[in-house]
């Protein structure tokens, strides 16, 4: 068939729909950005260990580590050393009798910011981290929510959510497919880190 022929057959229409679907599947995360702030103030941030809501006990640590790497690659922020920040976080939580970092009050976030010498704190939740069946094959599913808060006040600065399921980019064809949880986690974290860096700079 010539490209100039206006009479598209069923096969060409199917290809067009497939390509459109592949573009939709590559969309970025949904995010909220607080614009009425001085983003130049946020030079150094701390990343709290991500909350894990999945059946994989290691999912939280794995995705936290992956996101940290992807954020460092953007070179948009100085990130507090994970061990030092975790110690400061644990000290504040222990002093206040809190087990969940997401329950920290504005005053406690301010104290944490001072201890860790960060201007903002990032919290994450891993909602999905598993292999899922699609036909005869299994593909990875990863879903992550993130939020960045101002350390001195606890105000929300940025929030984003992204869910990705692996599989071939073109249905019925093994082209560009993502087959491992590690690969999918990296892809999700890269998109989220890029979104954060792009929106806040």
Cα separation, 36 vs 164, whole angstroms: 31
Residue 2 belongs to some domain of the structure: no
Supply the CATH number for residue 110's domain. Answer: 3.40.50.10610
pLDDT for 15: 35
User: β-strand 30-33 against 156-165: which pairing, if any?
Assistant: antiparallel
Report DSSP state, residue 173.
B
Residue 126 belongs to some domain of the structure: yes
Give every CB contact of residue 197 below 8 A, 6+ residues apart in sequence.
71, 74, 76, 77
Handedness of CA 133, 24, 8, 168 (dihedral sign): negative
pTM given for the model: 0.81
Report the domain count for the chain: 1
Give every CB contact of residue 159 below 8 A, 6+ residues apart in sequence.
31, 32, 145, 146, 147, 148
What are phi and psi for residue 50, nearest 5 degrees?
-65, 140
Task: Give the residue numbers spanning the domain of 51.
Answer: 30-199
Residue 162: strand, helix, or coil: strand
Residue 144 belongs to some domain of the structure: yes
Residue 10 belongs to some domain of the structure: no
Residue 182 belongs to some domain of the structure: yes
Residue 121 belongs to some domain of the structure: yes
Handedness of CA 150, 154, 155, 159 (dihedral sign): positive
The pLDDT tens digits along the chain (201 residues) read 443 443 334 343 333 333 333 333 456 788 999 988 898 899 999 999 999 999 999 999 999 999 999 999 999 999 999 999 999 999 999 998 999 999 999 999 999 999 999 999 999 999 999 999 877 788 999 999 999 999 999 999 999 999 999 865 555 555 556 679 999 999 999 999 999 998 766
Residue 60 belongs to some domain of the structure: yes
Question: What is the Cβ-side half-sphere exposure of residue 75, based on CA atoms within 13 angstroms?
Answer: 0
Residue 142 belongs to some domain of the structure: yes
């Amino acid at each position: 068939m010539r490209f100039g022929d206006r009479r598209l057959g069923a096969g060409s229409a199917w290809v067009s729909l497939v390509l459109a679907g592949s573009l939709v599947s590559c969309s970025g995360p949904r995010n909220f950005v607080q614009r009425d702030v001085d983003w130049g103030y946020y030079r150094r941030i701390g990343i709290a260990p991500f909350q894990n809501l999945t059946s994989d006990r290691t999912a939280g640590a794995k995705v936290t580590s992956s996101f940290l790497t992807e954020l460092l690659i953007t070179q948009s922020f100085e990130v507090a050393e994970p061990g030092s920040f975790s110690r400061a976080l644990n000290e504040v939580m222990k002093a206040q009798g809190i087990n969940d970092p997401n329950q920290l009050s504005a005053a406690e976030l301010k104290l944490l910011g001072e201890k860790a010498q960060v201007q903002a704190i990032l919290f994450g939740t891993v909602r999905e981290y598993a292999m899922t069946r699609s036909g005869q094959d299994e593909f990875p599913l990863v879903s992550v929510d993130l939020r960045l808060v101002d350390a001195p006040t606890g105000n929300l600065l940025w929030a984003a959510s992204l869910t990705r399921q692996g599989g071939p980019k073109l249905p019925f064809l093994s082209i560009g497919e993502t087959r491992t949880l590690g690969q999918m986690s990296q892809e999700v974290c890269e998109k989220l880190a890029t979104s954060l860096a792009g929106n806040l700079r």
